[in-house]
Amino acid sequence: MSAPTKNKKLLAWVAEVQKMCTPDRVVWCDGSKVEYDRLMAEMVASGMAIKLNEKKRPNSFAFNSDPSDVARVENRTYIASLKEEDAGPTNNWIDPVELKKTMTALYKGCMKGRTMYVIPFSMGPIGSDIAKIGVEITDSPYVVVNMQIMTRMSPKVLEVLGDEGEFIPCLHSIGAPLEPGQKDSRWPCAPIEQKYIAHFPEENLIWSYGSGYGGNALLGKKCLALRIASNMARKEGWMAEHMLILRFTNPQGKKFHIAAAFPSACGKTNLAMLQSTVPGWKVETIGDDIAWMKPGKDGRLYAINPEAGFFGVAPGTSKASNPMALESCRKDAIFTNVVVTDDLDIWWEDMGVECTGGTDWKGKPFKPGQKDAEGKKILGAHPNSRFTARAELCPVICADWENPAGVPIDIFVFGGRRTTTMPLVHEALDFNHGVYMGATAASEATAAALDVKSAIRFDPFAMTPFIGYHAGDYMNHWFEMGDLLGDKAPRCFYVNWFRKDKNGKWLWPGFGENSRVLKWMCERVESKVGAKETAIGLMPKEGDLTLDGLNIPAEDWAELMKVDKELFKATLDDAREYLAKLGSKLPARMMVQFEALKKRLG
């Protein structure tokens, strides 16, 4: 087919990739329903996709990946900056010349026997001042249909790009060429040692090879929206963050916009789609994973959700934990590595619905409660199994979620999973203190963590795997954004939903009740409630955080809000050791905040 653009740079790049990868044909994608339906029909016919029960799950499909290709491969993910010191200690670095040499050899002929798809897409509402255009080239139809849900794909993207416009090139191949007559695999991919997810920050270029799964292959997601975008944002004076965005409206109709960063397993998607338990207060979802934020003409920070869909972890998503996410998957959804039930619906662990049997993610017969030879429970769905759902189908999606101007952010929230030490909520003394709080956000190490010898794992702004440059420079960019925004900078808060008592019982009910904490934050922004100053920051005064209807004993509430100075002092050594890893690029203001906290703790 002829190219639907006259953009010389794009045409030259497509021709260059075609010559290197030697596909059988080239298809320019338009994001249409006809295209989506055709690709799905082809994948069902090949055995790659399973058409689900049309009555129970309209226009929805299930896929099962190869067991070696189930998650992001951090140890095969690289920031190939020209200088190693620019990648920093949180990233894997390879010399870009050497990496391109290695990957070019892999790319040669890699699409033989396959179709090369060219996907022009917009991250963010098409034409938004905050949005960016990317073009992904891939040989995976699975990637095409997922990108159609997760990004804005339409001929309008090429119209906005025009003949001279700039785009971010994203090259992807599953790395499985086909010889004439060779039968294709159900889920083709390359061996782990040949997988590469490479970012070239000076060129705003992404190369991915060997994996067909998730963020390794849907290059608009973590690769572009965070790793490359974070570096672009630093240079251009905006922010690309691993944050949900929500609107919280009070009974008088005043709207507050909150952006929140949490590490994995800390309830990020649940908070984005929260069902408020505070009478008259309403939560609406703008984004569940990524926020791009840019100063507006009025000096405030405006945010868009660059994505058009939800790429959520399935296990644990249930009617109890997140009914809105489940409802978003009611139709037009893609499921990967879940159980396909006998009646062709889907199921996963902790979904909260009955499953009498089906086929597990490895294609084997499955019944809940099955155990292996060692007596261990067999999981039907992979722990990292996913659903891809259209954001527009979320029942609580905000009317302004596609507003090209974005929404003004009032509040930043940081957090982690801590069973002790950290209280339910506290507010930063000022923006610089808030940056310190976000930069030292931490969760307790689990038995599965590589750094289990450490008491806590630091994950600055929940961005450790996604900062596209040196983490010290990244922290400094936060300080500089605060300088730029001045008194219009969002207020900063830290939350911990996971405090336990000595018997291991949760002290806070969480889920919808977290809206009570958000209400206190909004009332702080409006100066409707005061706060008491403590060594770690500002905390609610007695009675200011609404507890009506909650059965929380006074001693539990006291423990939830307790600031144990000795416990906090014990974490300072961990923080100092972590920050020291950033070397000479650690912002001086971080240590100013560290010493001030140490002094306040006495």
Contacts for 106 with CB less than 8 Å, ≥ 6 apart? 175, 190, 194, 196, 209, 210
Indicate the burial class of 595 (C-beta count within 10 angstroms; 0-12, 13-18, 19 or more): exposed
Summarised one tens digit per residue, pLDDT across range 117-135 is 999 999 999 999 999 999 9
Among the candidates 237, 271, 287, a domain finishes at: 237
Look up residue 190 and give its amino acid.
A
Split into its structural domains, the chain has a count of 3
Q: Residue 480's domain is classified under what CATH number?
A: 3.90.228.20
491 plus 530 within the same structural domain? yes
Q: Count CA atoms closer than 13 A to 247's CA, side-chain side.
A: 20
In the 8-state DSSP scheme, what is residue 85?
H
Model pLDDT, residue 459 = 96
574 plus 550 within the same structural domain? yes
275 plus 206 within the same structural domain? no
347 plus 361 within the same structural domain? yes
Contacts for 364 with CB less than 8 Å, ≥ 6 apart? none
275 plus 388 within the same structural domain? no
Model pLDDT, residue 451 = 39
In a domain, 64, yes or no: no
362 plus 491 within the same structural domain? no
Among the candidates 237, 255, 279, a domain finishes at: 237
In a domain, 264, yes or no: yes
CA dihedral over 82, 84, 87, 91, signed as positive or negative: positive
**How many residues does this entry show for the chain?**
602
In a domain, 67, yes or no: no
Strand 411-415, strand 255-261: pairing: parallel
256 plus 385 within the same structural domain? no
Cα–Cα distance for residue pair 576/573, rounded to 1 Å: 5
Q: Residue 330's domain is classified under what CATH number?
A: 2.170.8.10
Q: Residue 122's domain is classified under what CATH number?
A: 3.40.449.10
Cα–Cα distance for residue pair 285/327, rounded to 1 Å: 13
Which candidate, 436, 462, 450, places its Cα nearest to that of 590? 436
Summarised one tens digit per residue, pLDDT across range 27-42 is 999 999 999 999 999 9
In a domain, 25, yes or no: yes
Cα–Cα distance for residue pair 493/258, rounded to 1 Å: 10
**SS3 for 377?**
strand
Model pLDDT, residue 446 = 52
Q: Count CA atoms closer than 13 A to 272's CA, side-chain side.
A: 28
Where would I find the beta strands (DSSP E) of 112-217? 115-123, 132-138, 168-173, 196-200, 205-209
492 is catalytic: no
304 plus 177 within the same structural domain? no
Catalytic residue among 170, 266, 329, 394: 266
Model pLDDT, residue 263 = 87
190 plus 257 within the same structural domain? no
Cα–Cα distance for residue pair 274/515, rounded to 1 Å: 8
381 plus 435 within the same structural domain? no
245's enclosing H/E stretch is strand 244-249
Answer left, alpha or beta for residue 406, where phi above 0 means left and psi between -120 and 50 means alpha: left
123 neighbors 131 (Cβ within 8 angstroms):
yes
35 plus 116 within the same structural domain? yes
In a domain, 521, yes or no: yes
> How high does pLDDT run on average in the chain?
96
DSSP for 40-85, please give it.
Answer: HHHHHHHTSEEE--TTTSTT-EEE---TT-SS--GGGEEE--SSHH
Contacts for 270 with CB less than 8 Å, ≥ 6 apart? 321, 322, 325, 511
Model pLDDT, residue 335 = 98
Model pLDDT, residue 444 = 87
| pTM exceeds 0.85 | yes
Model pLDDT, residue 264 = 79
Cα–Cα distance for residue pair 339/370, rounded to 1 Å: 13
160 plus 192 within the same structural domain? yes
394 neighbors 242 (Cβ within 8 angstroms):
no
**Integer angstrom CA distances of residue 389 from 72, 146, 226, 374:** 19, 9, 20, 37
In a domain, 279, yes or no: yes
In a domain, 481, yes or no: yes
| Domain range enclosing 207 | 8-50+76-237
In a domain, 60, yes or no: no
Among the candidates 237, 254, 286, a domain finishes at: 237
Average pLDDT per run of 10 along the chain, which is 602 residues long?
93 98 98 98 98 98 97 95 98 98 98 98 97 98 98 97 98 98 96 97 98 98 98 98 98 98 88 96 98 98 98 93 96 98 97 95 95 92 97 98 98 96 97 98 65 72 97 98 98 97 94 97 98 98 95 95 94 95 98 98 94
